[in-house]
Amino acid sequence: MLRRLSEGIPVCVTVTLVDGLVLARSAFHHSVNYRSVVILGTAKLVDDPAEKMEALRLFTEHIMKGRWDEIRWPTEQELKGTIVLALQLEEVSAKVRVGGPVDDEEDYSLPVWAGVLPLALTTSAPVPDERLKEGTPVPKYISNYSR
């Protein structure tokens, strides 16, 4: 798929985060609270080694700030085996749904629980690798991680 995308074809990328289940009094009015983005653009292969390395650094730092300075950077062979694409944003659409259920007026008198069950992504305690050297401390950027 990445090889095909690197040929400069139009692409659509969609990301959705579900924030809650919206439970109504009728099946028809159930919904979800969400945040969604749709991106339309044309993918371009990043083949300059320095630009490719910088893209990987930025990606790594976005996921876990401070990590790039501690890890072994990709080797030339690893870079050759990795496809990095840049996506020029040609059209972007964002949608958000928040709030509780909206039932038909006559359904509000039904003795059925209605409301929102919030959903959240949370971190848990770090789980060390089985082969981690004994005494290796958990970095502060992991133990204090937040988004």
Domain residues of the chain, as ranges?
2-46+84-143, 50-83
| pLDDT at 9 > cutoff 90 | no
| Identity at 25, one-letter amino acid code | R
Contact in structure between 52 and 82 (CB atoms under 8 Å):
yes
pLDDT tens-digit series, residues 85-109 = 999 899 999 999 999 999 999 999 9
Handedness of CA 32, 33, 39, 43 (dihedral sign): negative
Taking residues 21-44, what's their average pLDDT?
97
Contact in structure between 40 and 92 (CB atoms under 8 Å):
yes
Contacts of 12 (CB under 8 A, 6+ apart): 38, 39, 40
| pLDDT at 8 > cutoff 90 | no
| pLDDT at 82 > cutoff 90 | yes
Predicted confidence at residue 35, as pLDDT, reads 98
Torsions phi, psi of 68, nearest 5?
A: -60, -35
Architecture of domain 2-46+84-143: Roll (2.30)
